[in-house]
Amino acid sequence: MSIPQSGGGPITDFSQLAGYMEDGCKPKEDWRIGTEHEKFGYCKDTLLPLPYDGERSIKAILEGLRDRYGWEGILEGGNIIGLVKDGANISLEPGGQLELSGAPLENIHETCDEVNHHLREVQSVADDIGARFIGLGAAPEWTHEQMPLMPKGRYKLMDAYMQKVGTHGTQMMRRTCTVQVNLDFSSEADMVQKMRVALALQPVATALFANSPFFEGKPNGHKSWRSRIWRDLDASRTGTLPFVFEDGFGFQRYVDYVLDVPMYFVYRDGKYIDALGMSFRDFLKGELPALPGEKPTLSDWADHMTTVFPEARAKKYIEMRGADGGPWRRLCALPAFWVGLTYDQSALDAAWDLAKGWDGETREALRVAASVGGLQAQVGKINMHDLARECVAISEAGLKSRARAGAGGMVPDETHFLNTLKETVETGKTPADELLEHYKGDWGGDLKRVYEDYSY
């Protein structure tokens, strides 16, 4: 999850809210790729999640990365809760999931180099303290009580609130992991088209990257339990945003949506002030009960924008949020998939042609079916396996058209990063299908084998 935003002055005019998003518009040559991925840490001998503090802990991992590799620590209340270096940051999800928010990079070759470098650093520190990390969409065995809440004020507030507004919020916070990519837009119209494609086709990413068929020690009946969790978390701030597909959608309509989402907090002087359920509209009028008489800054607005969690989220860029966390070899496939679909205009148009005839009920049905069945999902005449095949082909064409070479020009484009998805389409087996085959086959129902076979 996001770290506190900074650098925004006072909001003196309502138009600044949409202007904040508009400031993200960039010419195509300046578009970048920001990849984020989360993973679970655990003790190698006990197979239990890492606590925050102690010799074998999340704190020890962060301090090891800081001291050995030159990261700068981020502190909250005297606790190290993140790291920054060279445009990237490492942060903690509520249950101790370690997240890399990568630097804005020009191509997937650079993204993959960054991912590999990061995981090697994490692995070296983890090896020294008897810890390991695993990439899955949901914790396979650990209970809520076994997942420690990290010492961040934001999470303490959210943990209490999540229990009031949905049935799965605390599961999302402590026991899920994702991989996502953040992508740029050139104009309001470009943002609109990309948001529509992102929201409509997010179920395809959910299906292709489905990797959470286990929860609390047994199969859960879903290929992506992480996606299932998001469906019953907090209806006011999640979902597929039907208004995005309405005439007139743009920056201001998205602002109106975010304004109607209840607040979590206001960040002041290194502390999170409880604003749970309060209105940012009241804040704009100086009538926020948590800070009576005070009006917000653009930093407050940027913070509030990070507390909405739709399947694709718009800020100064667009976040693709539909995929489960996964194994090392698939982490570069997610940004490659979306870059191929959205950073080439012909590919973006082709992707929209696939989805533009769907109504809201169809889009939501695809979201539900993807979490349950993965590539085996079927909604009316739409077969997810066939849809995924078309999307991967469009993405491949988009990456070929981009023609961003790597390895000193030896690799002509980024298409090879889709190989793992092409294999998935060819076999019809997602990571979740492979996990279930092992569980029912050579693992003999012993779920602890997942740590041995699937850790980084």
Query: Could you report the per-residue pLDDT of 223-265, keeping only the tens digit for each?
Result: 999 999 999 889 999 999 999 999 999 999 999 999 999 999 9
Arithmetic mean of pLDDT, 38-64: 97
Give the Cα separation of 191 and 251 in Å (integer). 8
Instruction: Go through 401-420 and write b for each residue having 16 or more CB atoms within 10 A of its CB, e for each that does not.
Output: ebebebeeeeeebbbbbbeb
Percentage of the chain exceeding pLDDT 70: 98
Arithmetic mean of pLDDT, 203-221: 98
Residue listed under structure tokens 């904040």? 20
- On whether residue 8 sits in a domain, the answer given is no
- Written as one letter, the residue type at 248 is G
Task: Transcribe 33-61 into DSSP letters.
Answer: EEEEEEEEEEETTT-PBP-SSSSSSHHHH
Report residue 117 as tokens.
Answer: 């470098």
> Which long-range contacts (C-beta less than 8 Å, at least 24 apart) are formed by 57-65?
57/129, 58/92, 58/96, 58/98, 58/150, 60/125, 60/129, 60/131, 61/98, 61/122, 61/125, 61/126, 61/129, 61/131, 62/90, 62/92, 64/125, 64/128, 64/129, 65/90, 65/121, 65/122, 65/125
Does 329 have pLDDT greater than 90? no
Dihedral angle computed from the Cα positions of residues 416, 419, 425 and 430, in that order, rounded to the nearest 10 degrees:
-140
Instruction: Give 382-421 pLDDT, tens digit per residue.
Output: 999 999 999 999 999 999 999 999 988 899 999 999 999 9
Number of domains in the chain: 1
Does 40 have pLDDT greater than 90? yes
Give the Cα separation of 236 and 258 in Å (integer). 10
Confidence of residue 184 (pLDDT cuts 50, 70, 90): very high
Higher-scoring residue by pLDDT: 341, 148:
341
- On whether residue 25 sits in a domain, the answer given is yes
- On whether residue 3 sits in a domain, the answer given is no
| pLDDT of the residue at 4 | 59
**Helices 384-402 + 419-427 axis angle, to 10:** 160
Query: What is the maximum span of the chain, computed from C-alpha positions, in angstroms?
Result: 64
Instruction: Give 55-110 pLDDT, tens digit per residue.
Output: 999 999 999 999 999 999 999 999 999 999 999 999 999 999 999 999 999 999 99
- On whether residue 9 sits in a domain, the answer given is no
- On whether residue 388 sits in a domain, the answer given is yes
By the 8 A CB rule, do 194 and 245 touch? no
Of 75-84, 157-166, 314-323, 347-356, the range with the lowest mean pLDDT is 157-166
- On whether residue 131 sits in a domain, the answer given is yes
- On whether residue 236 sits in a domain, the answer given is yes
Report residue 220 as tokens.
Answer: 């859960």
Instruction: Report pTM.
Output: 0.96
Instruction: Give 410-440 pLDDT, tens digit per residue.
Output: 999 999 999 999 999 999 999 999 999 999 9
- On whether residue 340 sits in a domain, the answer given is yes
Write the CATH number for 386.
3.30.590.20
Does 346 have pLDDT greater than 70? yes
Q: Domain residues for 170?
A: 15-454
Does 163 have pLDDT greater than 90? no
Report residue 122 as tokens.
Answer: 């994490």
By the 8 A CB rule, do 140 and 215 touch? yes
